[in-house]
Amino acid sequence: MIKNLEDKITEKIHFGKGDECWPWVGATVGCGYGVVAHKGKMLVAHREAYRLRYGKLASTKKVLRTCKNRLCCNPEHMILGSLAEAHQLQRVKRNDLRRGKWKLSDKQKNRIKERALRGERATWIRRDYPHLSYITVLRLVHDTVNV
């Protein structure tokens, strides 16, 4: 049975509550973005999730995420913008991280540690926390850093 694009997208999104990130649980490309195959083409998952919610997109516009999660498909975390605006948003996110504005809650820290104790690799854990470096995840698991 051939599935339509909407079905393919919605079955690969882990829907959370309204304000939470909705992570893509399907295929990804090397840089960490979710992708879905449809009619012989590879489509970017968050862009298609946005299009499903808000309708047709201009090919010149980028779908920018206001959260830091490359796998997030929550349309409430997305805005349309140009390539220049995408670069500006990245600079703001990077500066916020350096200034310590992106702190993990105790619940998030415990979740990371639990996943590591179950044998999950740091590279896979990091996919859900793209604002953290691989080394930071390792240090967090071994209680050598406070984020």
User: Could you tell me the pLDDT band of residue 99, with boundaries at 50, 70 and 90?
Assistant: low
- DSSP summary character for residue 147: -
Q: How far apart are CA 130 and CA 33, in angstroms?
A: 11
Contact 92, 103 (CB under 8 A): no
Contact 76, 53 (CB under 8 A): no
User: Could you tell me the pLDDT band of residue 106, with boundaries at 50, 70 and 90?
Assistant: confident
Q: Where are the chain's structural domains?
A: 5-98, 106-141
Residues linked to residue 38 through DSSP beta bridges, in sequence order: 41
Average pLDDT score over the chain: 81
- Segment 52-79 mean pLDDT: 86
User: Which tens digits make up the pLDDT trace of 19-38?
Assistant: 788 999 999 987 788 999 99
Which amino acid is located at 24 in the chain? W
Q: How far apart are CA 1 and CA 12, in angstroms?
A: 17
13: closest CA among 30, 36, 29? 36
- Segment 1-24 mean pLDDT: 85
